[in-house]
Amino acid sequence: MELGQTPKEIRQAIRQARYTGGTGGLAPSYVQANLVILPQAQAYDFLVFCQRNPKPCPLIEVTDPGNPEPAGVARGADLRTDVPRYRIYREGQLEAEVTDIVTEWREDFVAFLLGCSFTFEQALLQAGVPLRHLEENRIVPMWRTSLACRPAGIFRGPMVVSMRPVPAPLIPRAVTVTARYPMAHGAPVHIGTPAQIGIADVRKPDWGEAVTILPGEEPVFWACGVTPQAVALEARPPLVITHAPGHMFITDLPDHALAVL
């Protein structure tokens, strides 16, 4: 494939529809982001929701109304074309999955980019913490929890978490490594007994696929970027556009730009 190497080259290939696949593994060590697009009428509540729930909703960019360029994280990029696949929801119902949203774009649209777990997973791997879902080639398992997000306007709902089993001796390292990235969900929200956060069966995720938990490992739970998408859909605003799962926006920010230490 002639995808190129830099985020800009890859976005160019995506823009020209030469690439419409998932972005996992592309431009490693560059920040990828979750996308939520809303009309400005709902944007204020969503901004406050993100401020109140920074672990599941780490906001790395908000565009000016009508302007599809996320200038703070990828100068010259166009959020109408530079994501491989979009999902369009009306009143909370999936209407279409498309490879660009040029015809759907409106002057009152605001795009939100949120940090994603790819960033901290890269950091975990570099720190020697294995990732079972990658070893088993599965989608990371995710659950709705009993942890309530703090509501804001029309947006409310439970926190969604992802789970990675971690060998007990590596848990402190897994915590400190991810804590360095508050803009990519940060430190775990829970370690151990799944029932304490309302997860009935750790073998039956609400999204993604179950992974093996070996003896001597504890399940470690991080706030998940599915939270803002689930919350945005449950509010049933007239229109929401998101990326399709796994088909993220690739920014020009190197991962270390999100690290606090």
- Find the binder of its own copies among 187, 232, 235, 250 (CB under 8 A): 187
Min dist. Cβ of residue 71 to its own copies (A)? 8
Our finding on whether 149 is near its own copies (CB under 8 A) is no
Our finding on whether 246 is near its own copies (CB under 8 A) is no
Our finding on whether 176 is near its own copies (CB under 8 A) is yes
Our finding on whether 260 is near its own copies (CB under 8 A) is yes
By C-beta, is 50 or 140 nearer to its own copies?
A: 50
Number of residues that bind its own copies (CB under 8 A): 22
CA 70: distance to chain centroid? 16
Binders of its own copies in range 15-44 (CB under 8 A):
40, 43-44
**Calpha distance 134→107 (Å, rounded):** 40
By C-beta, is 179 or 191 nearer to its own copies?
A: 179
Select from 14-22, 145-153, 156-164, 199-207 the region that touches its own copies (CB under 8 A).
145-153
Our finding on whether 172 is near its own copies (CB under 8 A) is no
**Calpha distance 85→121 (Å, rounded):** 22
> Which tokens is 67 given?
């302007």
Min dist. Cβ of residue 44 to its own copies (A)? 5
Residue at token pair 């759907």 = 104
Our finding on whether 213 is near its own copies (CB under 8 A) is no
Single-letter amino acid, residue 214: L
Let me know: does 39 contact 239? Beta carbons within 8 Å. yes
Select from 58-66, 99-107, 137-145, 205-213 the region that touches its own copies (CB under 8 A).
58-66
Give the list of residues 6+ apart from residue 71 with CB closer than 8 angstroms, or none.
63
Give the list of residues 6+ apart from residue 169 with CB closer than 8 angstroms, or none.
none
**Calpha distance 125→130 (Å, rounded):** 6
**Calpha distance 106→85 (Å, rounded):** 18
Name the packing angle between helices 171-179 and 117-126 (round to 10°): 130
Which spans of this chain sit near its own copies (rule: CB under 8 A)?
40, 43-44, 47-48, 51-52, 59, 62, 64, 72, 150, 152-153, 176, 179-180, 182, 186-187, 260-261
